[in-house]
A and B are shown apart, each in its own frame.
Chain A
Amino acid sequence: MTDGPFLRMEDVLKEFPGVVANDEVDLAVGRGEIHGLLGENGAGKSTLMKILYGLYAPDGGEIRLDGRRLDLDSPQDAIERGIGMVHQHFMLIPRLTVAENVVLGEREPSALFRAESEDSWLPESFRENRVVSGLARRFSLGLDVPEQRIADLAEEYGFDIDVGASIWQLNVGQQQRVEILKALYRDVDLLILDEPTAVLTPNEAERLFDTLERLAERGLSIVFITHKLKEVKAITDRVTVLREGENVGTVDTSSVSRADLARMMVGREVLFQIDKDPAEIGDPVLRAENLRAEDERGIEALSGVDLTVRSGEIVGIAGVSGNGQSELAEALVGLRELTDGRVAIADADLTGASPRRFIDEGVSFVPEDRLEYGCAEDLSVMYNATMKDFRDDRFGGGYFLDYDELETYAETLVEEFDVRGVRDTTEMLAGDLSGGNLQKLILARELYRDPRLLVANQPTRGVDVGAIEFLRETILDQREAGTGVVLISEDLDEIFDLSDRILVIYEGEIAYETTPTEADRKRVGLEMTGGEGTDGEPTADSADQAVADGRGDS
């Protein structure tokens, strides 16, 4: 940070038909700086970084790297100039090894054909022949030298990765480290990370932050795109906030609070602490006993879960993802076959019943993956808003369906739940809504029918601050209307803020039960990772830090 800005973007302009994605944005990043790029979904963060990485051509403005003007035509140019990017969705080939993925596009010919190679039995004149070396470059692969270099790099930065392992054998956190290795292997000076923690568990996110700090210490500049304020506070030196394509300001992270950042980002005050009235808890709406189920690979994912939820109660299920949450959610709405156990909704025993029966008994579901299970992206908002209620008699009796009525219903949902960016519900495709607005639409669809039970799996993941606030308040309102809620989340703050009871799930079992008032966050964090195990410490720390962050700033 001492020798002036390493990267300087000035007045960068990018227009798409009908929208200005970047309206004369400035951004300056120093050497060795971790620079946060903060903004709501659709604020123009990704567009700006895609320009920097050569994926989009800017319509105006200037970019200088290390004093030299950058004119990028492709990511290839960007990499040559020392800019690397780790995308939100990894660009890895599962069947290839770590080393093979890292050298993709940068590979060396096999040792046999290398001109300077010592142990090749081929005559040197043959190897130096232009045709031969050209063919060898294209059709042979030497991994010995790169493998060593990759292993050295991995060790240097403390990555525990076996360079010979195939990508599919690695977990998400490791795959992300491979993506970072790809960039380091290409000697980048500037690394862009696009919402890198979206796919990580809290533990893995901690490790990523350690890595990034180590990289920054060695002089690498890092741009960290996020919409999570906690991360900005935890890792960045300075932060630039974008709102609706415009630069709202760049500030030193240490000089602002989370509330300040949220205000810059959303343009108004944001409440972090939600006021919650004590629940009026009624009769059980869900009784699940001894639930057992298997995951897609046929391995037991739920090992005997008991869960009772009463009307007007929010039960939070905390846990690190992959401990049976998805299977539990699916089992509770009839989507996953049980190998053992019983599920009852109100007085009806629905063990083994179809998803349709669950819906008819008043069960609503917000699935973890909006696009995969929550909506049909290629269909209009109208279809998506009515995908559960179209059977209702108000949309016409018998076989026929009153499409005008469906449209009116969809318009009501859009209006009452503040889904933005929809002009015509029959024209606008669900896939064209931003993440937050799509999630609002899904929640609207699930709640407007006044369900007995709502099963919400990660309802606010990948959604911007303004929408999170709205979604959480909506869930609380529904609780007051007497709906029982199962809230599955990896976000401890969310669990603590909303729940009346907290359960911790670990390896398919409920490991711990508490309430937000009695709870010890450290204990909850520990239980999430299996108690006293060696993995426990970092999570306990992060839980601690979460307490400090959450209470300290808001």
Chain B
Amino acid sequence: MNVEIDLTAREDVPRWLSYGTPVFTILMALAVSAVALVALDVNPIAAYSTMFLETASDELGLRQTLVKSVPLVLTGLAVYVPLRAGLWNIGAEGQLYAGAIAGTWVGLNVGAPSYVLIPLALAAAGVAGGVWAGVPGWLRARWNVNEIITTLLLTFVAIELANYMVRGPMQGGQGNFPVSALLPTAALLPDLFGTGVHAGFVVGLLAVAATYVIVTRTRVGFEVTFVGSNPAAATQAGMSTVKVYLLVFLLGGAMAGFAGVNEIAGVQGRLRPEFSPGYGFTAIPIALLGRNGAFQVLLAALFFALLFVGGSSMEVVYGVPAALIDVIQALIILFLITAEFIKSYRVDVTIEREPNDRPAGTVGEV
């Protein structure tokens, strides 16, 4: 038997393929993860239905999903906006920590009523996150320093800075626990109409809307899109790549900063070391799944939130390790890369029984 794989470069990408990619990617990742479930003697269909359907139809599950989606959508946007300009922000996690530190500090040290304090804390967090991303943005714009490396490394600086803060200057509460003092009530995000979802969800939605408007309706958005597609032509057209690069990182970093303060003021109540389970890293597959637009980023963030929440309940019901969620996440990235390949090449697989036989037929064609 002779298997022949034939690659042909695609002249153009079919529409269904470019829009369907996120969906196919998720389905493929779930299909492959099902193998792991079967190996653990769990019925994948039952497990997935617990994970998705039951979580989404249950009030508690739904509430937790929405709460989880807040940092995910904001950090997702923090990766998405620079990606529009062709840059990789791998350090949304660090910007989230920077925002959390600054926001907590304002919440603890500024005495003001809620309607002043919360916007102030958000602003401080946005500035801190923006600065944290702005430095790599400036280095990239001005000196062409690789932003993937700088954003990633600054993440560890931010995480350690938070570690230091809760053990040193901002240590609070009883004993010597490495946590900050509890935020005053005025600094805590209110509940949205008694649903148990904090007001940070609105911040997330506003950020999505703002990103959508900026990218698709403004002059700056035009420049961001153009620079992302061809920086040399953009320069020739009089656009400043320095300005665009700096802007997307400032904006993205600010979003991640909001994510940090929302998580503290909406969920945790105080700054803890390593409070984020890696939202800023999950943001990367979210931005990749949602690369077609800000609303797609929102959908991807909701999907990942469901995955996290549903994953925990699957763990409880079936005793499946929650690490499976990491597997699914990793598979999504792998399949996204595969999808890029399939977008640029047609793959024909032919199987011949005998070397001299006529082809037994095209078995698969993607």
Q: Is A96 an interface residue (CB 8 A)?
A: no
How many A residues face the partner with a CB closer than 8 A? 30
Q: Is A356 an interface residue (CB 8 A)?
A: yes
Nearest-CB residue, chain B, relative to A399:
B218
Given A16-B11, A335-B235, A355-B235, A376:B230 Cβ within 8 A: yes
CA distance A16 to B10 in the complex (A): 11
- Give chain B nearest CB distance to A409 CB in angstroms: 13
Residue of B nearest to A357 (CB): B238
Selected interface stretch from B169-177, B219-227, B333-341: B219-227
Neighbouring B residues of A376 by C-beta, 8 Å? 226, 229-230, 233-234
Query: B195 within 8 Å of A by Cβ?
Result: no
Taking a contact as CB atoms under 8 Å apart, the answer to whether B238 and A356 are in contact is: yes
Contact among A16, A367, A399 for B219, CB-based, below 8 A: A399
A349: shortest Cβ distance to chain B, in Å?
A: 18
Most chain-A Cβ atoms within 10 A of its Cβ — which of B216, B225, B233, B239?
A: B233
| Residue contact A387 to B12, C-beta cutoff 8 Å | no
Verify A359–B238 contact, CB threshold 8 A: yes
Query: If the complex has contacts A401-B218, A401-B222, are A378 and B238 also in contact, measured as CB distance less than 8 A?
Result: no
| Complex CA–CA separation, A354 to B220 (angstroms) | 18
Decide if B233 touches A400 in the complex (CB within 8 Å): no
**Which residue on B lies nearest to A401, using beta carbons?**
B219
- Which residues on A sit within 8 Å (CB–CB) of B12? 432
How far is B47's CA from A135's CA once the two chains are assembled, in angstroms? 51
**How far, in whole Å, are A533 and B163 apart by their CA atoms in the complex?**
73
Would you call B237 and A383 a contact (CB within 8 A)? Answer: no
Complex Cα–Cα for A97 and B233 (A): 34
- How far is B232's CA from A372's CA once the two chains are assembled, in angstroms? 7
A388 contacts B238, CB within 8 Å?
A: yes
Q: A373-B233, A375-B233, A377-B230 are in contact. Are A400 and B219 (CB under 8 A)?
A: yes
One of B222, B229, B236, B240 near A390 (C-beta < 8 A) = B222
Partner of A356, one of B222, B225, B240: B240
- Contact assessment for A387 and B218 in the assembled complex, using a CB-CB cutoff below 8 Å: no
A398–B216 CA distance with the chains assembled, in angstroms:
15
* A352 within 8 Å of B (CB atoms): no
Cα A367 to Cα B232 with chains together (Å): 11
- Interface check A53, CB cutoff 8 A: no
Cβ-based interface call for B217 (8 A): yes
Q: Which residues of B contact A399 (CB under 8 A)?
A: 218-220
Interface centre among A333, A355, A383, A432 (most CB of B within 10 A): A355
Please state if A375 and B230 are interface contacts (CB–CB under 8 Å): yes
CA distance A391 to B239 in the complex (A): 10
Does A379 make an interface contact (CB < 8 A)?
yes
Q: Could you tell me the distance between the alpha carbons of A522 and B303 in the complex, rounded to whole angstroms?
A: 72
Checking B217, B237, B240 against A400 with a beta-carbon cut-off of 8 angstroms, the contacting residue is B217
Q: How far is the CA of A170 from the CA of B360 in the complex (A)?
A: 48
Cα–Cα distance between A390 and B223 once the two chains are bound (Å): 9
Where chain B touches its partner, the secondary structure class is: helix
Query: How close is A172's CB to chain B, nearest CB, in angstroms?
Result: 21
Per the 8 Å Cβ criterion, residues 392-436 of A in contact with B are 399-401, 403, 432
* Residue-wise interface mask of B (169-198) relative to A, using a CB-CB cutoff of 8 A (1 in contact, 0 not): 000000000000000000000000000000
A365 close to B (CB within 8 Å): yes
Contact call A367/B236, Cβ cutoff below 8 A: yes
Q: Are B217 and A387 in contact (CB under 8 A)?
A: no
The residues of B that contact A359 with a CB separation of less than 8 Å are: 237-238
- Chain B, residues 225-268, CB within 8 Å of chain A (1/0): the string is 11001101111111110000000000000000000000000000
Q: Are A373 and B232 in contact (CB under 8 A)?
A: yes
A5 within 8 A of B: no
A341 on interface, CB distance cutoff 8 Å: no
Closest beta carbon of chain B to A452's beta carbon, Å: 15
* Alpha-carbon distance between A453 and B237 when the two chains are bound, in angstroms: 15
Q: How far is the CB of B192 from chain A (nearest CB, A)?
A: 30
A531 within 8 Å of B (CB atoms): no
Give the distance in Å from the alpha carbon of A358 to the alpha carbon of B236 in the complex: 10
From residue A285, how far is it (CB to closest CB) to chain B in Å?
18
Q: How far is the CA of A365 from the CA of B240 in the complex (A)?
A: 17
Which chain A residues border B218 with CB–CB below 8 Å? Answer: 399-401
Determine how close the nearest CB of chain A comes to the CB of B9; give it in whole angstroms. Answer: 10
Q: How far is the CA of A390 from the CA of B12 in the complex (A)?
A: 28
In the assembled complex, the Cα of A375 lies from the Cα of B232 at a distance in Å of: 9
> What chain B residues lie within 8 Å of A377 (beta carbons)?
229-230
CB distance from A324 to the nearest CB of B (A): 19
Distance in angstroms between the alpha carbons of A141 and B167 in the assembled complex: 62
A379 to B232, CA, bound (A): 14
Q: How far is the CB of A383 from chain B (nearest CB, A)?
A: 6
Chain B residue at minimum C-beta to C-beta distance from A383:
B226
Across-interface contacts of B236 in A (CB, < 8 A): 333, 335, 355, 365, 367, 373-374
Query: Would you give the shortest CB distance from A107 to chain B, in whole angstroms?
Result: 24
Minimum CB–CB distance for A323 against chain B, Å: 22
Q: Which residues of chain A come closer than 8 Å to B220, judged between CB atoms?
A: 399
Measured between beta carbons, the chain A residues less than 8 angstroms from B226 are 376, 379, 383, 387
**Residue pair A403, B217 in contact (C-beta under 8 Å):** yes
C-alpha gap A260/B219 in the complex (Å) = 50
Given A376-B230, A376-B233, A377-B230, CB of A355 within 8 Å of CB of B219: no
Residues of A within 8 A of B238 (CB): 354-356, 358-360, 388
Residues of chain A lying within 8 A (CB to CB) of residue B217:
400-401, 403
Within 8 A of A (CB), among B196-226: 216-222, 225-226
CB distance from A18 to the nearest CB of B (A): 10
Min CB–CB distance A400 → chain B (angstroms): 6
Whole-angstrom distance between the alpha carbons of A315 and B237 in the complex? 23
Chain B residue with Cβ nearest A395: B219
Q: How far is the CB of A207 from chain B (nearest CB, A)?
A: 32
Q: List chain A residues, Cβ under 8 A from B230.
A: 372, 375-379
B:53-95 near A, CB below 8 Å: none
In the bound complex, what is the Cα–Cα distance between A372 and B230 (angstroms)? 8
Question: A373 contacts which chain B residues (CB < 8 A)?
Answer: 232-233, 236
Q: Which residues of B contact A387 (CB under 8 A)?
A: 226, 233-234, 237
Residues of B within 8 A of A390 (CB): 219, 222
Known contacts A356-B240, A376-B229; 15 further A-B pairs (Cβ under 8 A): A335-B235, A354-B240, A355-B235, A358-B238, A365-B236, A372-B232, A373-B233, A374-B236, A376-B230, A378-B229, A378-B230, A383-B226, A390-B219, A401-B221, A403-B216
Closest 4 CB pairs of A and B: A356-B238, A376-B229, A376-B230, A387-B237
Can you give 24 contacting A-B residue pairs, CB < 8 Å? A333-B236, A335-B236, A355-B236, A359-B238, A365-B236, A367-B236, A372-B232, A373-B236, A374-B233, A375-B230, A376-B229, A377-B229, A379-B230, A383-B225, A387-B226, A387-B233, A388-B237, A390-B219, A400-B217, A400-B219, A401-B219, A401-B221, A401-B222, A403-B216
